[in-house]
């Protein structure tokens, strides 16, 4: 870790535990927690509504400016969470990025329980199967600072401990070890649609 201020990004599809883990990390580190969806709503950085995805469309440029202002003004660690977090935080801050992952067959159950529509469930399950949040992060941030964490059937406290182990240098950042497509459960999931 460099001597620069600690900036942690948590990304992943809905239902992987970003909000819970981010809040716990902020508490443990005495840091500031920025929920990008909440910030976009509070600041009016919404450019429209995506009917198909049933979600607001955030103004990424405005969010980037606001997150930079918040981060620059804070002396404390900053924890930024959202599925587009890697696009919002400038690489110069040298963030550590944690892509939270969850087994797609478990994710499907969670999203249905939240009341998501069939199309939204399907899109997010497919995104998890195809590593979309990992790929998006790799396109805009330093690959050496991107870690994957499997949250499947794990209490949030365990996930936080794993992240803190990486942050403190006690564990290595791991990437590329999660492969849902090679699992029989994924084959059944794809067959069922």
In a domain? residue 116: yes
In a domain? residue 171: yes
In a domain? residue 187: yes
In a domain? residue 2: no
Residues 136-175: tens digit of each pLDDT: 999 999 999 999 999 999 999 999 999 999 999 999 999 9
In a domain? residue 1: no
Q: How far apart are CA 143 and CA 104, in angstroms?
A: 24
Q: What is the pLDDT of residue 1?
A: 33
Mean pLDDT of the chain: 93
Total number of domains in the chain: 1
In a domain? residue 37: yes
Q: Which two tokens stand for residue 1?
A: 């870790």
User: Per-residue pLDDT averaged across 4-10, rounded?
Assistant: 91
> What DSSP string describes 35-103?
EHHHHHHHHT-EEEEETTTTEEEE-HHHHHHHHHHHHHH-SS-EEEESTTHHHHS-GGG--EEEEEE--
Q: Domain range holding 21? A: 7-192
Mode of pairing for the β-strands spanning 146-150 and 46-50 = unpaired
In a domain? residue 91: yes
The domain that holds 166 is classified in CATH as: 3.40.50.300
Q: Which two tokens stand for residue 119?
A: 């199309």
User: Per-residue pLDDT averaged across 123-134, rounded?
Assistant: 95
Mode of pairing for the β-strands spanning 96-101 and 78-81 = unpaired
In a domain? residue 106: yes
Q: How far apart are CA 75 and CA 53, in angstroms?
A: 37
Region for 55 from its dihedrals, namely left if φ exceeds 0, alpha if ψ lies in -120 to 50, beta otherwise = beta
pTM above threshold 0.75? yes
């Amino acid at each position: 870790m460099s001597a620069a201020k600690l900036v942690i990004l948590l990304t992943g599809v809905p239902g992987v535990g970003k909000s819970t883990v981010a809040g716990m990390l902020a508490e443990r580190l005495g840091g500031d927690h920025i929920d990008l969806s909440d910030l976009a709503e509070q600041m009016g950085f919404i450019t429209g509504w995506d009917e198909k995805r049933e979600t607001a469309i955030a103004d990424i440029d405005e969010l980037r400016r606001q997150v930079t202002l918040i981060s620059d003004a804070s002396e404390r660690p900053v924890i930024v969470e959202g599925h587009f977090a890697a696009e919002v935080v400038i690489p110069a801050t040298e963030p550590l990025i944690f892509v939270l992952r969850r087994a797609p067959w478990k994710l499907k159950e969670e999203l249905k329980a939240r009341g998501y529509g069939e199309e939204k469930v399907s899109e997010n399950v497919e995104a998890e199967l195809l590593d979309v949040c990992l790929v998006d992060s790799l396109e805009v941030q330093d690959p050496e600072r991107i870690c994957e964490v499997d949250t499947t059937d794990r209490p949030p406290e365990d996930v936080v401990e794993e992240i803190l182990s990486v942050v403190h240098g006690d564990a290595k950042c791991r990437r590329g070890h999660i492969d849902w497509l090679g699992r029989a459960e994924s084959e059944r999931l794809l067959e069922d649609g």
